[in-house]
Structure 1
């Protein structure tokens, strides 16, 4: 039988480049999937994939130039 590897909250913090306390806060606030073994909180590979999918960002829309100062720019370009 293959043993499943579980990841600690400290390893999650390093993986996502956040502090340990931020990882605990996100787990509680954003309801991250996890497993509890006594007092230990652990994450399975499936839990990590679910967390990453939750925060996956879509590409930002193309930025438009601001319309501020367009009249002044038009006057100066004549």
Structure 2
């Protein structure tokens, strides 16, 4: 698991489409004095172990606010 506190922006000039994952779950995490938004992704249904967690990313408040701002400007 990774907790992200800082986001660096780079433009990807040679982006290719990605396949869709099976599902993602957003968790609202409260660790007492700290709060996070956590995104868990799960593999495709064709994966050997169906429903297995693939990766987890946690955003602290500053990273989440930065991501929302970047998304609003990009879209």
TM band (smaller chain)? under 0.3
Return the structure number with greater relative CO, CA threshold 8 A, min gap 6: 2
- The structure with the largest helix share of the pair is 1
- The structure with the largest strand share of the pair is 2
Normalization by structure 1: what TM-score? Answer: 0.18
Larger radius of gyration: 1
Normalization by structure 2: what TM-score? Answer: 0.19
